[in-house]
Structure 1
Amino acid sequence: MRIVPILTAILVAAFLFGLVIERERLFALVSTLSPRADVAEAPDATPQEVSEAEPPAADAVDDGVIRVMATRSVAREIDTQVRLRGQTEAARQVSVLSDANGRVISEPLRKGAFVDAGQLMCELDPGTSAATLAEAEARLAESQARRPEVEARIPEAEARLAEAQARLEEASINAVAAKRLSQGGFASESRVANTEAAVQSAQAAIVSAEAGVKAARAGLDTLQANIESAQAAVARAQTEIDKLQITAPFAGVLETDSAEIGSLLQPGALCATVIQLDPIKVVGFVPETEVRRVEVGALAGARLNGGVVVQARVTFLSRSADPTTRTFRVELTVPNPDLTIRDGQTAEILIQSQGVMAHVLASSVLTLNDAGTLGVRTIDANSEAQFVPVTVLRDAPEGIYLSGLPDQVDVITVGQEFVTDGVPVAPSFEEVIQ
């Protein structure tokens, strides 16, 4: 029979019995036999000896106080930016349409070609437009040639009127003289009657002469109307001829081919599309919550999807919100002399705004309260934890910029998830530990 395994089993059983059943007595016995207890009970042990024998625990705090890590943050002024997503747009874009009927007789310009303002893009067959213009010009020349003749009739009619007035005056004098002679018995009644008839005849001549003057002047007015009508016909015919040549309204780039030679264009048909890329616009849409931070003339920058970075200023800010998205259109005008920036490129826009006071902290300090509000846990003057809502301004390599905190604040960096408002804490500051 083996005695060693039996003794081992008995000792293990006794140890487990003491550890489980008589645990408190076992720990008391161990504490009594411990050398530290002897040192603590020695009456003449110096404080230094006691300290060397058993250093105090580093985390010894009052009951209910939670030890946390904290940092003391001081706010500083930073330049804030409004970040938008947008795209580039041509400064001007127009679809040049035809105003006349006709077949194209000019060689087409291919898309991508550069055109100057006033450069011919599509020319239409003139047809009978030239003959119509020549006819209108001939009628105008004829009307203008008649002007001296019609104008000469007015002085002639006025002279006849003056002659009739003179005859009336003479007949009136003769009639008065005949009446006086007749009263004295020196003239017959027939002579008086003849003089009175002469007066009436002179009066009729005056009426006829006045009608002649009015007719001459009316003829001149009619001639002037004919001249103006002929001039309008000439202008109309010239306009129709001008419509046969479709030119570029401004300098730019052809986005489409111009109309092919031989094709029939009608009013409203497309000749070509021209876009202007210098300067070019960068367009974004500002939410209504940040529109007050954007001003016309503010410095801005844009990063295009090809890596190109440009700087400009805000040249337009809409006063009316989009009815669907409730955002406001904002535009930057960027020089583009070499046309490297294309229409429709995606852009990330940063618009400089007024500086604000902010704290730079690690993103790990952020937490949520029971209502789901984003914020941080701080330590108040009574060494109690308090939740403070914050606003994230932007990210940076050194951390995140937060607003909504006092200018100087102690922020819990480790342990903020284990405390609530009003819980006493014992902070260890990172600056002191470092």
Structure 2
Amino acid sequence: MRLKSQYIFVIGVVAVIVVYFLARTLLGGHGPNPAQAKTTAPIGMASVQVKLVPETLREYDVVLRGRTQATRAVQVKSETAGLVAEAPVLQGTVVPKGAILCRLAVDARQATLDREKANFRSMQLQQQANTELARKSFRSPTQVAQGQANLDSAQASVRAAEIALRQVDIRAPFAGVFDHRDAEIGNYLAPGQSCGMMIELNPLLIVGDVPETDAGKLKVGAGAAAVLVDGHSLSGRIRYVAHDADPATRTYHMEITVPNPQLAVRSGLSADVRIAAGSGPAHLVPVSALVLDSAGRQGVRYVTDDNRVAFAPVIVMEQTPQGAWVRGLAGPARVITVGQSYVAEGQKVRVAAAL
């Protein structure tokens, strides 16, 4: 029986495959096993450069951004009603305590005071007469007491009229700068309306917001230094650190008092603030040595005594042109400066000194 052509083709293909595998088996028995060669080949050890960083005792400083602020800022308001008759002080003027900032029209206040004084003198004469008549038994004790009450009421009316007259003068409540005028001559001021703004610049405040990681390091009375945007340097002491954090920023408000006797420093200037917060061990490492681990923590990789890689989370205290001062390492450390991003914790490495 004659085979079909398609069967002959299939048999031929199968024969070729069989011959190929037989030949591969026979030839492979005389050469090395690729899998075995792969497992027995030596693995190249990673090479890193390290820098020996000694432990140093360093002052801890809390560094933050702040701004100058007036110790007090007060809207000086009228206590009575009237038209502004005088405005003797220009805004921006340095004034002593008690200086008149606005003066209202006197109107009938002086006349009221004169009337009350006259009434008081009349009550005095009546009471003198009552006392004299009572001594002669022509006045009862009740009448004398009534006369004394009338005299006291007249005296109180005089004091009230004097106060009302004094209230036409709106005065500076403290020494400082009359920074802004709100009322001009001819304006009508009702009780509670503002004449202008007074600010106190000596002493001056430097305020800022401290991160929650540093808030516990600050103490009231601790020394602080600030450098303003114009290069002016100030020094003072902490007077207040908040105990309740801002719910939005999780920061704590802080105030520093600094002397400003010449009122040369204005309110609202930006400042770089440095506050002493004790001392402790620190290491100066290259900024490039800082890395993140798998958990997102900032730190450095270093080499242990047996040449294995380890990771130490650190806190950056300060960055300088020489590097970053950090805390979190213990003792001298061989910090990896080249290759730190290509090795893992526990990996054994070949160590070369940093150039």
Using the size of structure 1 for normalisation, the TM-score is 0.68
Instruction: Check the 8 A contact 2:88/2:100 in 1, yes or no.
Output: no
Structure having the higher strand fraction is 2
The verdict on how the C-alpha distance between 1:233 and 1:413 changes in structure 2, with shifts beyond 3 A counting, is same
Deviating more after overlay: 419-428 vs 239-248: 419-428
**How far off its partner does 1:324 sit?**
3.4
**Which residue matches 2:227?**
303
Counterpart Cα distance in 2 of 1:406 and 1:275: 50
**Which residue matches 1:359?**
283
**How far off its partner does 1:338 sit?**
2.6
**How far off its partner does 1:373 sit?**
2.2
**How far off its partner does 1:108 sit?**
4.3
The verdict on how the C-alpha distance between 1:322 and 1:365 changes in structure 2, with shifts beyond 3 A counting, is closer
Indicate yes or no: 2:54 matched with 1:130. no
**Which residue matches 2:193?**
269
Structure 1 gap segments, 5+ residues each: 1-61, 158-211
Instruction: Check the 8 A contact 2:52/2:335 in 1, yes or no.
Output: yes
In the TM superposition, what whole-angstrom CA distance separates every residue of 1:50-71 from its partner, at most 9, and x where no partner exists? xxxxxxxxxxxx8553332222
**How far off its partner does 1:110 sit?**
2.0
Counterpart Cα distance in 2 of 1:252 and 1:401: 42
**How far off its partner does 1:281 sit?**
0.9
Instruction: Check the 8 A contact 1:133/1:237 in 2, yes or no.
Output: yes
Matches for 1:5-404 after TM superposition, within 5 Å: 63-157=43-137, 216-257=140-181, 259-404=183-328
Deviating more after overlay: 315-324 vs 361-370: 315-324
**Which residue matches 2:16?**
none
Q: RMSD of aligned C-alpha atoms?
A: 2.0
In the TM superposition, what whole-angstrom CA distance separates every residue of 1:146-183 from its partner, at most 9, and x where no partner exists? 223322344444xxxxxxxxxxxxxxxxxxxxxxxxxx
The verdict on how the C-alpha distance between 1:108 and 1:260 changes in structure 2, with shifts beyond 3 A counting, is farther
**How far off its partner does 1:417 sit?**
2.5
Aligned residue-pair number? 314
Deviating more after overlay: 360-369 vs 218-227: 360-369
**How far off its partner does 1:269 sit?**
2.0
In the TM superposition, what whole-angstrom CA distance separates every residue of 1:395-414 from its partner, at most 9, and x where no partner exists? 11211112111112222222
**How far off its partner does 1:378 sit?**
1.9
**How far off its partner does 1:75 sit?**
0.7
Instruction: Check the 8 A contact 1:108/1:260 in 2, yes or no.
Output: no
Alignment partner of 2:181: what SS? coil
Structure 2 gap segments, 5+ residues each: 1-41
Counterpart Cα distance in 2 of 1:301 and 1:408: 31
Instruction: Check the 8 A contact 1:64/1:424 in 2, yes or no.
Output: no
One-letter amino acid of the structure 1 residue matched with residue 114 of structure 2: A
Instruction: Check the 8 A contact 2:127/2:151 in 1, yes or no.
Output: no
Taking only the aligned residue pairs, the percentage that are identical comes to 35
Instruction: Check the 8 A contact 2:209/2:253 in 1, yes or no.
Output: yes
Instruction: Check the 8 A contact 1:68/1:426 in 2, yes or no.
Output: yes
**How far off its partner does 1:394 sit?**
1.3
Counterpart Cα distance in 2 of 1:293 and 1:346: 23
One-letter amino acid of the structure 2 residue matched with residue 89 of structure 1: Q
One-letter amino acid of the structure 2 residue matched with residue 81 of structure 1: D
In the TM superposition, what whole-angstrom CA distance separates every residue of 1:251-296 from its partner, at most 9, and x where no partner exists? 2222123632222222122212111222211111112221111111
**Which residue matches 2:10?**
none
In the TM superposition, what whole-angstrom CA distance separates every residue of 1:184-205 from its partner, at most 9, and x where no partner exists? xxxxxxxxxxxxxxxxxxxxxx
Counterpart Cα distance in 2 of 1:95 and 1:224: 42
In the TM superposition, what whole-angstrom CA distance separates every residue of 1:314-336 from its partner, at most 9, and x where no partner exists? 12222333343332221112222
The verdict on how the C-alpha distance between 1:92 and 1:147 changes in structure 2, with shifts beyond 3 A counting, is same
Alignment partner of 1:146: what SS? helix
The verdict on how the C-alpha distance between 1:149 and 1:297 changes in structure 2, with shifts beyond 3 A counting, is same
Counterpart Cα distance in 1 of 2:220 and 2:102: 40
Indicate yes or no: 2:350 matched with 1:426. yes
Runs of 4+ in 1 over 3 A off after TM superposition: 62-65, 152-157
Using the size of structure 2 for normalisation, the TM-score is 0.82
